[in-house]
Every structure is written in structure tokens, then in C-alpha cells.
Amino acid sequence: MKILMKATNQLFLITTLCLLILSSCGNISGLEKYNGEQVCLKSVEGKFLSERRNENNNIKIVGENPNEWETFIIERKENGVVNIKTKDGFYISFNNNDSTLVAFASEPSYTESFILKPYKEYYSLNSVSGKPFSVDDEFKLRVAVEGDLFLFKFIPIPITSKSVIHLGDINFLRFFLQLIAFLIIIFLIYKCLLKDKFKNALSIYVYFIICFTWGYAIVHNENWKTDNVITNDSIIYYEYLPAALIFNDLSFDFIDSPPKDFNGTIWVNDKDKQGNRAPKYTYGLSILYLPFFLIGHLFAYILGYTTYGYSTPYFVLICFSSWFYAVMGMLYLRKTLLLLFNDTVVGFTLISIALATNLFHYVVQDSAMTHTYSFFLFSAFIWHTIKWHKRQNIKTTAVLGLLIGLISIIRPTNVILALVFVLYDVTSFDSLKEKTKLFWKYKNHVLLIVILSIMIWIPQFIFWKYLTNNWLYFSYQKEGFFFNNPQIFNGLFSYRKGWLVYTPIMIFAILGVFFLIKEHKKWVLPIAVFLILNIYIIYSWWCWWYGGGYGSRPMIESYSLMAIPLAAFFAYFDKMTSYLRSVSLFVVFIAVSLNLFQTLQMKSSLHYDSMTKEAFWNNFITTGWPPDYKNMIKSPDYDRALKGEKEY
């Protein structure tokens, strides 16, 4: 029986490895080959679509030759929908007032979406409602009359080292990294199977499915083929690396006169009265980026890309880093859960955290944001907390100190995770006394944790001193917390970004805290205290919805901890009748399906910061835009929110 089990497992691993390698070798054909590329649109009459606009920003068909004014970037979405972006970052938009096309939108939405339909060897340009466009007497594009279509061909721009993708080289790099990723998965799975003596196989297979799904989604999402990897907040976290390692200029003066072929984005605060400026965020995430940045730099040099930190090889490696840290975080989470629950419950919980929460979106789509990386650090910290309480040794102590330092330097408010270490196994006043005695007995260990966590901050203090002449610098400037007016209800239940609205599986995790009381009481106090304090701090921030994104993103890293009560919830039903077990399985299936579908909707009609009840339900489980969509959404007033006022 054991031999058969081993043979079955090895056959599974070999088969899935072959499937993974085959899945990475898809051909790029049709419209896909233009996704993220710089192209010109040449009409059937030989004229080029041009960025040269009139006073009303109208796009016109006046280009005689392909050059920078006639260059656009195609961003392919789902169901044949595309966005067309100018080189200076503006999206072509349909103007409802006069039925023409203009270029001034900074973000793609309903009116910035089009469908390209094949017409013999040409394409026609159509609105998402199916209306085609033609060229009027003034060479402007507007809604066409029947039979008068604007037909065009794509003309790829000659390859340069600045920003156009060397597709063959990148396919090689992509395949190489996928192969490395597959070998990592196989090694981790095989090691776990051997260590467990082929027990707990279900959670291993679930873990493999998660790793594969994340990797497959990252590759086929093709974010790495555009400039959409280092965006939003990640611009600031990332910019430390090119500034320090490439430009050797941590004062960021190079942004005043960058190289001509520099195509990156740098965000720093405006200069103060002393002429100083600094990034808004601390350097922590750049530590986790670093090994992948260096590998990307090597590939950029070998493959002939610009080596300023903002060409395609860097983007590919940053996407890979998100996958790597998510995979490692999930591995730590599995190890933790197996100490508390059976293999079936662990499998249910892993798939719920990985695919039924907005963690999936931030692994796959917004890969460079902090949340995937913090999820890994949280998972590792929880595992080492358990390990330290079993055996107090210097190695585990040092790791805990470094982890809490990294966690806090990435997002300072996350330092409250240290309370889990302090309150772990505290179930009564007597156990609190015992915990105090334990810390006193190992006071040198506790001191080492504090020292190492502070050491992680020392480079940041030196950096601030160098830039601003102050050891401590509040880089958020006018932004802050309103602790006297926390938006907890909105943070949990708002249609704009409510945590439990867009990640409903976490309702069961909250309920699961009560199921911990009977068999896993040592976890009740640390989880309850952390959860309450974390929610209070997060939703006291002036921008409680945290700008653009999917769901309540600052809650993501805490899923490493919330997985424990979620597993307790599943464990309770696992002991019940087969009917109740089937119900719990159905709940997971619905939660996963809803999350994946809404993640897909983020590419179209699920607005990044302006959803309302009306927009949510009219858009629920649909792939298109509902009628009158723009009147359903409601953009927040960031200036009012900054003052602590209601954002409408």
C-alpha cells in the first residue's frame, strides 16, 4: 500500500510538471501579440491615427509617417475589449457629447474601452456597445454611418532599447523563470511529502494547485508586458533601488535631469523650506525586491534593454517575486495549520485564503504592492512564534526580531502583530503571570528581538537624517489618522471598499474565533486583540478605502492570522454530518467563484474607488457595463476626506 501511495504521488508530480511546462509555451497570435506593444494604427487610405489634437483633444487621422506622435499602446482586456493609450499616458475616450474620440482620460473605464473587430486583413474600431467609428470631413473619428468604417492595420514600431518589448527574449526569460518556479514547487512538495511520510497529501495537492493557479494567472495576465507593474504606491517602494544602485543618488536629484532614454516614474515629496525632499514610504519593501531586482538588472544587461530599473526584465522579475513570496507565505501557513487541524480542514482553508480573498488580486494583478510580501512575513512570524514557545533558541529569536523589523518598516502600523507573540498562550490571569515569568527568564531573547527589529530601521533613520537633517521625519505630511472618528462600519460593509462585502469568506473567519475557545484557546486572545486593534487603526486612516484597488487591501496580510479561526470554523463543520460538510464545501466554492469573477471585473466595470450600492448590484455577476453606469458610481472627494470630513 505504501509503495502504491508513493508511486501515485510521484506520477502526480511528474504529470503536473509536464502540464505546467506545456502551459508556458503558448503561441502569441492575433490581437494578443499587440498587447502592451507600441504600435501605429494605419488606415486603409494610408493615413495614421495621430496624437496631434485640436483644442478639444480630438484624436485625428492626419499622420503621414509613423513617429512618436502616431504611436499608441494597446492594452488588451477580456472579451476582446481593449484600451488605447497615448505615449504620454492618456487613454483615448469616447465623448458622448459629440460622438468623437478624445484623449485626456488618466484611467481606463467604460468610455475608454473599445472592441477591435477583424475585417479581412484589417480591423474596425467599435465602442463596447457595438457602434463602429469612421473618419469625418475634419479627419476626426466619430460614430460611423453604416458602410463608412474606419479600417486600419497595426504597424509595429521598430524595436528600440527604451520601452518596446523584445518579445522573443522575454518569452525565453518567461519560460526560464517558469521552469525555475516549477522546480521550486516540485522541490517543496516532494520535501513535504517525504517529511510527512506521504501523510497530509491533500493539503499538499491543494498547495500545488494554488501555486500553479497563481503562476498561470500571472503569466497569462501579461501585466509584465506593459508598464503596469510598478504603479501607484509601489512606485515609491521600488524607487529606492534604482536611486541607490543605479544612479547612486539617494537625494533623488537625478529626476531633475534624467537620462534621455529613462522611462521610469519617481514620486518624492515636494521640497520643503530647506530644499529637502524624501519618498513618502519607508524602504522596507525594497529589501524584498532586491534579489529579484538584481537578477532583472542582469537580464536587462544581457538582453540589451535599458538598465535604469524600468524595462521589461525588471517587471518580469518583480511579478515573479510576488509569486515567490506568496508561495512561501502559503507554505508557512500550511505548516502552522497542520499543527492545529487535520489535513482536510487545512486544504479547505488554504484554498479559501488563496482564491476566495483579494490576496489573489494582489498576487496576480497588483503584484508589486506591499500586501503579498507582508502576507509572507506575517505567515513566517506566526510560525516562528509557535516555534519559539516550544523551544527558546537564539536562531528563532533572531528570526523573530528581523521579521518584526521588516513587517514594521514596510507598514509601520503592522508592528501590532508583535502582540501575537506577547499574548500567545495567554488564557487567564494565571497564564499571564506564567508568560511574564517566561519573558523574564529569557529576557536576553526578548531584548535581542527588540534590538534586531530596531536595527532594520537604522538605515531609514540615517536616510532621513541625510535628506532632511532629522532622525525622524513624518513623510506623510498632511495625511494622518482620525482616531476619534474611525470609519469601521464603512470599512467593513461599504460598497465602496467594504472588507466583508468584497471578501465575504472572512465573515466565517470572524465567527471562527468563537470556535477556537474549546480546543485552541491559546489563540483566542492574541487573534481577538489583534483583529480589534487592527480594524480600529486601519479604518481610522483619513482615506479609509485606501485609494484604488480591489476590496480592503490593508487587511490582506492579516489573512495569515485569520486563517486559524477560519480553519476552526471549517473544523467544526467537518465533525458534523456529511450534509453539513457538503454545505461548507459549497460555501468555499461560491466564495472562490465570486472572488475570481470580481477580480476579473476589476479590469472593467468594478470601479477601483467609486462603487455604490446601485453600481454593485446592477453590475453583480455581469461582464459588461450596465446602462447609465457613469451615473451609478460616485467618486470620493479626497480633499474633504483629508480634512476628516465625509468624502462625498
Mean pLDDT across the stretch 162-190?
60
Residues 173 and 130 reside in one and the same domain: no
pLDDT band at 521 (very low <50, low <70, confident <90, very high): very high
Which tops the pLDDT comparison, 27 or 133?
A: 133
Residues 91 and 192 reside in one and the same domain: no
Nearest to 378 by CA among 410, 355, 341, 349: 410
Which tops the pLDDT comparison, 202 or 110?
A: 202
- For residue 12, being part of any structural domain is answered with no
Mean pLDDT across the stretch 567-571?
95
Q: What number of helices (H) and strands (E) belong to the chain?
A: 22, 12
Residues 322 and 394 reside in one and the same domain: yes
- For residue 500, being part of any structural domain is answered with yes
What pLDDT digit, counting tens, does each position of 197-249 carry? 657 778 888 998 999 899 889 888 777 666 678 888 999 999 999 999 999 98
Residues 385 and 440 reside in one and the same domain: yes
pLDDT above 70 for 6: no
DSSP code, position 515: H
- For residue 21, being part of any structural domain is answered with no
What pLDDT digit, counting tens, does each position of 267-316 carry? 887 666 666 778 999 999 999 999 999 999 998 888 888 889 988 889 98
pLDDT band at 81 (very low <50, low <70, confident <90, very high): confident
CA distance 291 to 224: 18
Domain boundary among 156, 179, 207: 156
Residues 202 and 147 reside in one and the same domain: no
Nearest to 333 by CA among 388, 374, 396, 379: 379
pLDDT recorded at residue 139: 66
Nearest to 128 by CA among 109, 149, 110: 110
pLDDT recorded at residue 168: 44
Total of domains in the chain: 2
Place of cell 486559524: 564
pLDDT band at 259 (very low <50, low <70, confident <90, very high): confident
The domain in which residue 303 lies consists of 169-601
pLDDT recorded at residue 111: 64
- For residue 195, being part of any structural domain is answered with yes
Residues 150 and 173 reside in one and the same domain: no
CA distance 370 to 284: 9
Taking the CB of residue 647, how many other CB atoms lie within 10 A of it?
20
Residues 193 and 93 reside in one and the same domain: no
Mean pLDDT across the stretch 38-45?
71
pLDDT above 90 for 341: yes
pLDDT above 70 for 1: no
Residues 313 and 385 reside in one and the same domain: yes
Which tops the pLDDT comparison, 467 or 425?
A: 425
Residues 57 and 177 reside in one and the same domain: no
pLDDT band at 96 (very low <50, low <70, confident <90, very high): low
Summary mean pLDDT of the chain: 82
pLDDT band at 37 (very low <50, low <70, confident <90, very high): low
What pLDDT digit, counting tens, does each position of 380-427 carry? 999 999 999 999 999 999 999 999 999 999 999 999 999 999 999 999
pLDDT above 50 for 32: no
- For residue 9, being part of any structural domain is answered with no
Residues 490 and 532 reside in one and the same domain: yes
What pLDDT digit, counting tens, does each position of 616-644 carry? 998 888 877 777 888 888 989 998 999 88
- For residue 635, being part of any structural domain is answered with no
Domain boundary among 129, 156, 183: 156
Helix (H, G, I), strand (E, B) or coil at 40: strand
Identity of the residue numbered 566 = L
CATH number, residue 127: 2.80.10.50
Residues 463 and 510 reside in one and the same domain: yes
- For residue 28, being part of any structural domain is answered with no
Domain boundary among 97, 124, 156: 156
Residues 145 and 283 reside in one and the same domain: no
Q: Considering the chain, what percentage of its residues have pLDDT values greater than 70?
A: 76
- For residue 552, being part of any structural domain is answered with yes
Q: What angle do CA 133, 134, 140 make, to 5 degrees?
A: 105
Which tops the pLDDT comparison, 48 or 560?
A: 560
pLDDT recorded at residue 345: 94
